[in-house]
Amino acid sequence: MEPIVDIIDILGTIAFAISGVITATKKRMDLFGILIVATVTSVGGGTLRDLLIGKSPVTWLLNTTFVYTILVSTVVGVIFRKQLHYVRKSLFLFDTIGIALYTITGVQMGLLIDLNPVICVALGTITACFGGVIRDILCNEIPVIFRKEIYASACILGGVVYIGLIHLGVTAGLTAVMAGITVVVVRTLAVVYELQLPSIYTQAEREQNN
Amino acid sequence: MEPIVDIIDILGTIAFAISGVITATKKRMDLFGILIVATVTSVGGGTLRDLLIGKSPVTWLLNTTFVYTILVSTVVGVIFRKQLHYVRKSLFLFDTIGIALYTITGVQMGLLIDLNPVICVALGTITACFGGVIRDILCNEIPVIFRKEIYASACILGGVVYIGLIHLGVTAGLTAVMAGITVVVVRTLAVVYELQLPSIYTQAEREQNN
Amino acid sequence: MEPIVDIIDILGTIAFAISGVITATKKRMDLFGILIVATVTSVGGGTLRDLLIGKSPVTWLLNTTFVYTILVSTVVGVIFRKQLHYVRKSLFLFDTIGIALYTITGVQMGLLIDLNPVICVALGTITACFGGVIRDILCNEIPVIFRKEIYASACILGGVVYIGLIHLGVTAGLTAVMAGITVVVVRTLAVVYELQLPSIYTQAEREQNN
C-alpha cells in the first residue's frame, strides 16, 4: 500500500470515528459506548464486506493501526466535542475522502475474486455506507442514509465509473483516482446544492407523516 | 436447480422485496433506503445462514438474478405502492411459498454439512424468517414475528417434517414437497383462523402494557 | 474441555438466556420471540467472534448442548418469570461467571490464531458483551452497556490480566483462573459500590437530555 493511501485511509478512519463520537454523545452514552460506536462506524462497512466475501479474519483484526487511530480519535473527539463544529468542514472533507477510498477498496476486492461488476459496485457501496448504518442502529435510529443523504448515490456512481474505466482498459491507478474524484465531486455538489433523491411521496403522504 | 424451483425462488424473492418496500415506504425512506430494505428482506435470511455455516462468498453475491429481481420489484413496488393492497392475496401466496422454499433450502444446507437435525431446523427457520427480522431492525421496529406471527412456527414444523421424512427413507424430492406443503398449509390455516401462539401473559400483565 | 468448565459454561448460558427472557417478556413478545432473544443473548457474542475470526460453522451449530440448555432455560424462565427476582443474586453470580468465562474463551481464540494482544482483548470483550448488545437491538433499545454498565470494563481488565500473565510465562490454567477472578471481582465491586465510568457530560448537558 502506498504511503499516500495509508494517510488517506487513516484520515477516513478518523472522520468516521468522529462521526460516531458525535452520534453517541448525542445519545449520552458512556465512554465505552462511545468507543464502540466510533469503532463500528469506522470498521463496520469493511467488516460486513469481508464477511460477505469470506475474507477472514476480517481486516481490522490484522492491523492495530485502525484500533489505535479509533482510540485516539475517540478520546480527542470526546474532549473537544463542543469544538467539533468549528472543524465541520475539515471533517466533511475527511469523511468524503473516506467514503471515496472505501468505495474503491470494496469494488477492487469484489473484482479480485471475479464477482459480477454489479455486485462489485454493491460491495463498494456497502463498504462505504454500512458503518454509518450500523452506527445508527446501535443508536436506535433509522439509518440517516435511508432518508435524506445522497451519500450512497455518490458511492454507486463512483463504483460505476471504476468498473467502466477498468473495462475500457484504463490503468488501475488512474481508474482509482477518477472513481475517487467522482465520489468526492458528486457528494460535494450534493451538499452544496442541497440535492436529494427525488421524493417518491406525494404531498398528502408527506403530511400524513407529520 | 430445476426450472420450477427457479421460478418459485424468484416469486419468493419478489414477495419478500415487496414486503420490504411496504415497510420502508411507511417510514418515508428515500429510494436508496427502500432498495436496501427490500434487498435485506429478500436475501438477509439466506445471508445470515451462509455466514453461520461458513459458505462464502454468500449466495446472492454469486448470482445477479437476485439483485436484478429485487431491483425491478422495488421500482415496480414503489410505483404501484398504492395499488399493492389489491394484490394482497397474491403477495401472501408468494410470500408463503417463499418461506416454504427458504425453509427447505436452509434445512438441506445444514444436512449437507452433517449438522444435527435440530440445528438444521433452526437453519431453515433462520433462512425463512431473519430477512424480515433485519428489515424490522433497519426500520427501527421490534421484529413483527417476535410478537404476533405464527410464521416461524410454520417453518419449524416444515423443518421437522423434512427431517422426519428423510429419516424414514422418503426420497429427497418427495420430502421437499411434503415439507413445503406443511409450511404453506400451517401458515394459511393460521392466517385464515387468526391463530396465534398461546399468550404467556396474564390479563393484568397485558393491561399493564397498555 | 474439563467437566468443571463445562458446568460453568452451561451456568453462563443459563444466566444469559434468562436475561434474554427478562428483556423479551418486558416487551410482551410471544414464545418464539422470547426464545430467539434468549438464544441471541446466549450465543450472540460467541457467534460474532467466530464470524470475525473466520471460524465456521460457528460454535453453537456444532454442539446441541447450547440449544437444549437455552430451550429449557427459556421455558423455565417464562413459567417462573414472576419469581425471577427472588433468585436475582444467583443470576448475577451466574452471569458474572459467564462473562468471565466468555472473556477468557475469546482472548484464547485470538491468541490461537496469533492476533495482536490488543485485538485479543477486544475479541474477549466482544464474546462476553455482544450477546447483550444484540439482545437490546432486537428489543429496540439502545444497548444498556453503552450507557450505564461497568460490565465491559471488567471484561477488558480481565483480558489485559490474561495477556499480561501469559507474557510473564504463567501457565495457561493459572492465567485463566486469575483473569476470571479479575472479571468477577471488578464486576462485583462495581455493582456493590455502584461504580460507573466517569461521566463525560457536564451538568448542563445532562439536564438538556432530560
Distance from CA of A86 to the nearest CA of B (A): 30
- A105 in a structural domain: yes
In a domain, A209, yes or no: no
Flag whether B208 is in a domain: no
Q: Measured between beta carbons, which residues in chain B are less than 8 angstroms from residue C44?
A: none
From first to last of the 210 residues of chain A, give the pLDDT tens digit.
444 557 777 888 898 999 899 889 888 898 899 999 999 999 999 999 999 999 999 999 998 999 999 999 999 999 998 887 777 777 788 788 889 999 999 999 999 999 999 999 999 999 999 999 999 999 999 998 887 767 889 999 999 999 999 999 999 999 999 999 999 999 999 888 877 777 778 777 766 654
Residue B80, in any domain of the structure: yes
B192 inside domain: yes
The verdict on residue C159 lying in a domain is no
Question: How far does B83 lie from chain C, in Å, by closest CA?
Answer: 31
pLDDT the model gives residue B3 = 47
A window 166-195, beta carbon within 8 A of C:
none
Question: Using the 8-state DSSP alphabet, how is residue C9 labeled?
Answer: H
Write the Ramachandran bin of C5: left for phi over 0, alpha for psi from -120 to 50, otherwise beta.
alpha
Q: Once rounded to an integer, what is the mean pLDDT over residues B50-67?
A: 93
User: What integer pLDDT is reported at residue A2 of this predicted model?
Assistant: 45
Amino acid, single-letter form, for residue B167 = H
Cross-chain residue pair C143–A139, CB shorter than 8 Å: no
pLDDT value at C1 more than 50: no
Q: Structurally, how many domains does chain A consist of?
A: 1
Phi and psi based region of residue C54 (left: phi greater than 0; alpha: psi -120 to 50; beta: remaining):
left
Q: What is the pLDDT of residue C154?
A: 92
Q: What is the pLDDT of residue A118?
A: 96
In this structure, is residue B46 part of a structural domain?
Answer: yes
Q: How far apart are CA A45 and CA B57, in angstroms?
A: 16
Distance, CA of A180 to CA of A102 (rounded, Å): 9
Structure confidence by residue, pLDDT tens digits, C21-67: 988 988 889 889 999 999 999 999 999 999 999 999 999 999 899 99
Rounded average pLDDT over B106-122: 96
Amino acid at C128: A
Instruction: Give the range with max mean pLDDT: A188-197, B85-94, B116-125, C11-20.
Output: B116-125
Q: Which of A134, A141, A142 to mutate to test the interface with B (most CBs of B within 10 A)?
A: A142
pLDDT at C52: 97
- On whether any CB of chain B is under 8 Å from the CB of A52, the answer is yes
Average pLDDT of chain B is 88
pLDDT digits (tens, 9 = 90+) for C176-195: 999 999 999 999 998 888 77
pLDDT tens digits, one per residue of C63-80: 899 999 999 999 999 999
Which domain does C19 fall in, by range? 3-145
Q: Residue A84 falls within a domain, yes or no?
A: yes
Query: What is the spatial distance between Cα C116 and Cα A129, in angstroms, rounded to a whole number?
Result: 27
